[in-house]
């Protein structure tokens, strides 16, 4: 079970195997961009020409409404892609949000930074009462202050990695709603079992808070269904360990986008994402972390093209719903490679 925060904090910081000298660390040694490399990446963004970094026409979308969500049955799990890594789940009548980001930009600034290609399929104000929010880490494209504050009055509880409770407390979030997790900690109730498990990544929202909060991924088990939500990660052996402990999984939401040679340790290529799905001992893969923000140097459709090819080669079943489309666990779904008809149009 998840421990209470007081039990995880000592005079020297968090009582976590991942915490040392004021920072959290990955299991393996990881190359993170230092100042010199960060400046080099910034120079690339200024000088390199990118092909089709964003679509020139609106992407297909299925709008959702409170009434449409209410009509989804309460005896199944329904999954709705909201864009980027944001997912809405209806878990046997309970509404859960994973890494909800509804803001126009994934940025500390309202006037600059990566801008959405599309609106969310449902407005924040139209969302029903939320039973649970799960946050994977505190980067701006996964932890959105505006969304969290807008949701707090209608949200029962929010699960976050160690350290992220500090961000929420600074924003005025009721600490009684917040549960904090170290890697491999679990929370169970009559509806589900949730576990926070490792990834290979990093954290930070500014120049001085690098790796002062933990990062990770989520395992969700409810009735006969098991779901894995990756957050962000480089490829590492941890996926095999998660598969051994919690697999097999029926569905995986796995990061597939924002990869590059300059940060290969902390974001997977699509081919590695497919291998991670295999390592997890999983059935159906839903690629996320693509199609909403321009965060790297590849085209907006490259993640989807490459993951579809890699999945076919490895005989992995993938599901690529449009934004707003409902996937019901255990039910057949006619998958459509919807982006292919838009590639020639940018």
Report the distance separating Cα 4 and Cα 11, nearest Å: 16
3-state class of 230 per DSSP?
A: coil
Summary mean pLDDT of the chain: 94
Rg of the chain over Cα atoms, rounded to whole angstroms, equals 19
Buried b (16+ CB within 10 A) or exposed e, 243-277: beebbebbbbbbbbbbbeeebebbbbbbbbbbbbb
Predicted local confidence at residue 328, as pLDDT: 98
- Tell me if 157 sits within 8 A of 135, measured CB to CB: no
What mean pLDDT is predicted for residues 266-280?
Answer: 99
Q: CA 168, 124, 95, 62 torsion: positive or negative?
A: negative
- Tell me if 135 sits within 8 A of 160, measured CB to CB: yes
- Tell me if 298 sits within 8 A of 62, measured CB to CB: no
What is the per-residue DSSP string for 71-121? TS-TTSEEEEEEETTEEEEEETTEEEEES---SSBSSS-SSSS-B-SS--S
Q: How confident is the model at residue 1 (pLDDT cuts 50, 70, 90)?
A: low
Predicted local confidence at residue 44, as pLDDT: 86
Predicted local confidence at residue 159, as pLDDT: 98
Angle between helix 302-314 and helix 270-279 axes, rounded to 10 deg: 40
Prior bond of 248 cis (ω within 30°): yes
Cα→Cα distances 283→48, 161, 251, 280, Å: 38, 27, 6, 9
Q: Check pLDDT > 60 for residue 7.
A: no
3-state class of 224 per DSSP?
A: coil
Cα→Cα distances 301→19, 154, 219, 232, Å: 37, 35, 28, 19
Q: Check pLDDT > 90 for residue 334.
A: no
Give the CA angle between residues 271, 275, 276 to the nearest 5°.
115
Full-model pTM: 0.95
- Tell me if 108 sits within 8 A of 205, measured CB to CB: yes
Of 34 and 225, the structure prediction assigns the larger pLDDT to 225
Predicted local confidence at residue 9, as pLDDT: 58
Q: Check pLDDT > 90 for residue 261.
A: yes
Q: How confident is the model at residue 3 (pLDDT cuts 50, 70, 90)?
A: very low
Report the distance separating Cα 221 and Cα 228, nearest Å: 9
pLDDT digits (tens, 9 = 90+) for 281-316: 999 999 999 999 999 999 999 999 999 999 999 999
pLDDT digits (tens, 9 = 90+) for 98-150: 999 999 999 998 888 899 999 999 999 999 999 999 999 999 999 999 999 99
The bridge status of strand 217-222 relative to strand 225-229 is antiparallel
Q: Is 246 left (phi over 0), alpha (psi -120 to 50) or beta?
A: alpha
Nearest to 183 by CA among 26, 11, 13: 26
pLDDT digits (tens, 9 = 90+) for 67-98: 999 999 999 999 999 999 999 999 999 999 99
Report the distance separating Cα 210 and Cα 44, nearest Å: 22
Predicted local confidence at residue 171, as pLDDT: 98
Report the distance separating Cα 332 and Cα 328, nearest Å: 8
Domains annotated on the chain, with CATH: 50-331+339-345 (3.60.15.10)
Predicted local confidence at residue 33, as pLDDT: 65
Q: Check pLDDT > 60 for residue 233.
A: yes
pLDDT digits (tens, 9 = 90+) for 186-228: 999 988 999 999 999 999 999 889 999 999 999 999 999 999 9
Structure tokens at 326: 């409902």
Cα→Cα distances 293→136, 142, 159, Å: 18, 12, 25
Report the distance separating Cα 95 and Cα 75, nearest Å: 13
Q: How confident is the model at residue 8 (pLDDT cuts 50, 70, 90)?
A: low
Residue found under tokens 């409404």: 65
Distance of CA 63 to the CA centre of its chain: 21
């Amino acid at each position: 079970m998840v421990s209470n925060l007081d039990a995880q904090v000592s005079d020297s910081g968090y009582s976590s195997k991942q915490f040392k000298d004021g920072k959290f660390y990955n299991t393996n040694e990881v190359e993170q961009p230092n100042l010199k490399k960060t400046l080099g990446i910034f120079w690339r963004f200024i000088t390199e020409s990118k092909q089709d970094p964003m679509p020139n026409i609106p992407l297909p979308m299925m709008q959702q409404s409170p009434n449409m969500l209410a009509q989804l049955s309460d005896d199944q799990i329904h999954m709705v892609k909201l864009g980027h890594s944001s997912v809405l789940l209806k878990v046997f009548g309970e509404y859960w949000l994973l890494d909800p980001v509804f803001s126009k930009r994934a940025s500390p600034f309202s006037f600059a930074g990566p801008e959405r290609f599309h609106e969310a399929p449902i407005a924040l104000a139209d969302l029903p009462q939320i039973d649970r929010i799960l946050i994977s880490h505190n980067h701006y494209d996964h932890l959105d202050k505006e969304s969290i504050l807008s949701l707090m009055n209608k949200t029962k509880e929010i699960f976050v990695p160690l350290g992220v409770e500090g961000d929420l407390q600074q924003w005025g979030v009721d600490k009684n709603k917040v549960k904090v997790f170290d890697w491999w900690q679990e929370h169970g109730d009559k509806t589900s079992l949730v576990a926070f498990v490792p990834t290979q990544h990093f954290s930070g929202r500014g120049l001085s808070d690098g790796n002062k909060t933990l990062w990770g991924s989520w395992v969700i088990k409810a009735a006969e269904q098991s779901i894995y939500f990756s957050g962000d990660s480089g490829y590492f052996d941890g996926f095999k360990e998660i598969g051994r402990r919690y697999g097999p999984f029926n569905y995986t939401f796995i990061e597939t986008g924002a990869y590059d040679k300059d940060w290969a340790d902390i974001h997977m290529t699509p081919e590695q994402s497919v291998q991670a799905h295999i390592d997890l001992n999983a059935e159906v893969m839903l690629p996320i972390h693509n199609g909403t923000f321009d965060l790297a140097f590849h085209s907006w459709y490259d993640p989807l093209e490459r993951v579809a090819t890699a999945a076919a080669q490895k005989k992995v079943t993938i599901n690529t719903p449009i934004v707003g489309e409902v996937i019901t666990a255990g039910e057949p779904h006619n998958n459509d490679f919807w982006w292919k008809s838009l590639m020639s149009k940018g």
